[in-house]
Amino acid sequence: MSDYIPVLITLLLGVVIVAAMSNLNRLLGPRKMTAIKGEAFECGNEATGPGWGRFSIKFYMVAILFIVFDVEVVFMYPWAVIYRELGVFGFVEMAVFVLVLAVGYAFAWRKGAFEWR
Amino acid sequence: MTQAINSGLPLIVACSWALLLIVVEMFSGDRRFVGVAWMGVIGLAVTAAMSVHYASVPAVYGNALALDGYAVYFNLLACTLGAAAMLLSIDYLGDAGIVRGEYYSLMFFAVIGVVIMAAATDLIVMFIGLETMSMAVYVLAGIRKSDLRSNEAALKYFLLGALASALLLYGVALLYTITGSTVLADVSKALSDTQHAGADHLVLLLATGLVLIGFGFKIAAVPFHLWAPDVYEGAPTTVTAFMATAVKAGGFAALMRTVLVALAPMRAELAPVLWGAAAVTMTLGNVVALRQTSLKRMLAYSSIAHTGYLLVGVTAGTNEAGSSVLFYLAAYGAMNIGAFGVMAALARRGRGCEKISDFSGLAQTHPAMACAMALFMLSLTGIPPLGGFVGKLYVFTAAMHAGLVWLVVIAALNSVVSAAYYLGVVRTMYFDNAPADVLPPARPYAAVVVAVAAVVTILLGVAPSPVLGSAARAFSKVLLG
């Protein structure tokens, strides 16, 4: 079990830091509430409509495709770092991986997932 | 090295084939996707044949995967059921307004998931198989995008399935903290070598419970069955046929390896839980099925009840019981694919053919279909000399030998109760009058699948020994020691 003590420490540190951050802010910061400050923050734009408003499914399509290809790059970084040690085997493995993703990409393209209609 | 490649080859080929299906489908001009469907069926046949050819006992990839007899048995079962579901779908999909070629690729991937679940000898690989299967089936359940019930089915299945997967994975992680391994045999060894007391014992119980809950969701065991009726009803009939047979087989493949191999040293703690789950599952499934007016919902509750019967075998946990469960899954697959096949064969757009009353007087208008449906219903009840009877007989006998007398009594009583609703369908078909608007003729592909399922159901009842023998051989090397 002693192997897991670092994990426990990290966990505790995480909880303590988050709790400290959010509560220190409340203790130290001045709080002068105005009408504008009370509004929901939407990336600097003025908030409009209720929070449960409906969004076009197009946004979800883009988000899902982004996640897929975003995660792909996460795999590629460590692969690139030890590329020389892996040699031909590593190249072929990554080629197979990219090929599988390419099929998915072609599928999304063919089915019109990239068209902003 | 060569053995590693050989054992993995059926899976590699299957995955490549499923990807190829996507590509072919993308450029297919045929809106019925007959070619794609047949390509899927051929791919499944190739996968099955390769798994038989490359079958070998030792595990490969660091003890993560074994193409042993058990895996090959489930591979054949899943490929057959998948192929049957694909053939059922050919005419059904177009008529139901589902013009989506990826349907077949998704079904192929779901079969691959089942195969991985059965071949996995490592909990993490098993989880990957489970997710491969589940993800594909979530999409399949909701593939009728404009249908609200199909949407509801997909969403419910997805949310509850994701929860179950998370619980299962959490259980696996906790099991790892105790045993230091996710390989089934090593987990078993670590559990039997050391006595876990105090906090460790509690964590172990928690881990086992979470793993059981995870699988309980997938096989729709009470109290984790609530999704099943809604999902079975909302999903397209062909997908329901696949879910009720192949997906359930996959769930049991993984559950049995986990409970009977990795958690074998926990037998004393697990036995009462499994006993209770089996008893409650079959009783609740059968009692609620009595009151259903929708055939699809009735079959959903019947599938819950059959989960209970299968759990009787898992509770017994002997070699004899294990091989009986394998046989039961084959018989159950044949009769259930057939029953859903009859529904898919007669359903037309706007006339779901999902209520029991839709089948009134079917014997007058469609004598062959009515006869096949009656056969499947009798087999589901467990009436000799059909496959369902032999399956039940062997599972219950094995449970008797393992000393589970009361559980078998409950199961036998349940079988009697179940006769009421199964035979109710037969009565509706044979003794009620046909409505004025007669059901359309059965679709050709579906009719062939129904006929084959009927023949298999009879054969499994009349001459069960070949399949029983292979089930016994498949299970003989699973249990440790």
Note whether A110 contacts B26, CB cutoff 8 Å: yes
Report yes or no on A116 lying in a domain: no
Query: Which residues on A lie below 8 Å from B22 (Cβ)?
Result: 103, 107
Task: Please tell me the predicted confidence (pLDDT) of residue B1.
Answer: 59
Task: Please tell me the predicted confidence (pLDDT) of residue A65.
Answer: 86
Give me the number of domains chain A comprises: 1
Q: Is B23 on the interface with A (CB under 8 A)?
A: yes
Query: Which residues on B lie below 8 Å from A111 (Cβ)?
Result: 26
Q: Which of B23, B27, B177 has its CB closest to that of A103? A: B23
Task: Please tell me the predicted confidence (pLDDT) of residue B72.
Answer: 93
Report yes or no on A64 lying in a domain: yes
Contacts of B369 (CB under 8 A, 6+ apart): B342, B345, B346, B362, B442, B447, B450
Q: Is B102 on the interface with A (CB under 8 A)?
A: yes
Note whether A4 contacts B177, CB cutoff 8 Å: yes
Report yes or no on A81 lying in a domain: yes
Q: Is A110 on the interface with B (CB under 8 A)?
A: yes
Query: Which residues on B lie below 8 Å from A1 (Cβ)?
Result: 177
Give the structural domain span for A62.
2-110
What distances in angstroms separate CA B103 from CA B95, B106, B130, B194, one per listed residue? Answer: 14, 5, 19, 48
DSSP A42: B
Task: Please tell me the predicted confidence (pLDDT) of residue B93.
Answer: 86
CATH number at residue A21: 1.20.58
Contacts of B32 (CB under 8 A, 6+ apart): B90, B91, B93, B94
Contacts of B425 (CB under 8 A, 6+ apart): B295, B298, B356, B359, B373, B374, B377
Segment (H or E) for A34: none
Q: Which amino acid is at B54?
A: Y
Report yes or no on A69 lying in a domain: yes
Furthest-apart CA pair in chain B: how many Å?
71
Note whether B19 contacts A107, CB cutoff 8 Å: no
Contact present, B277 and B311 (Cβ < 8 Å):
yes
Report yes or no on A95 lying in a domain: yes
pLDDT in tens, A102-114: 898 888 888 888 8
Task: Please tell me the predicted confidence (pLDDT) of residue B481.
Answer: 59
Segment (H or E) for A114: none
Q: Which of B177, B201, B204 to mutate to test the interface with A (most CBs of A within 10 A)?
A: B177
C-alpha B336/C-alpha B315 separation (Å) is 23
Report yes or no on A115 lying in a domain: no
Q: Is B412 on the interface with A (CB under 8 A)?
A: no
Note whether B19 contacts A103, CB cutoff 8 Å: yes
pLDDT by residue for chain B (481 residues), tens only, comes to 577 778 888 999 999 999 999 999 888 877 778 889 999 999 999 999 999 998 877 778 888 888 889 999 999 999 999 999 999 999 888 888 787 888 999 999 999 999 999 999 999 999 999 999 999 999 999 998 888 888 999 999 999 999 999 999 999 999 999 898 999 999 999 888 877 777 888 899 999 999 999 999 999 998 899 999 999 999 999 999 999 999 999 999 999 999 999 998 888 889 999 999 999 999 999 999 999 999 999 999 999 999 999 999 999 989 999 999 999 999 999 999 999 999 999 888 766 678 888 888 888 889 999 999 999 999 999 998 899 999 999 999 999 999 999 999 999 999 999 999 999 999 999 998 888 777 888 888 999 999 999 999 999 999 999 999 999 988 988 887 5
Query: Which residues on A lie below 8 Å from B190 (Cβ)?
Result: none
Report yes or no on A68 lying in a domain: yes
Report yes or no on A117 lying in a domain: no
Task: Please tell me the predicted confidence (pLDDT) of residue B369.
Answer: 92
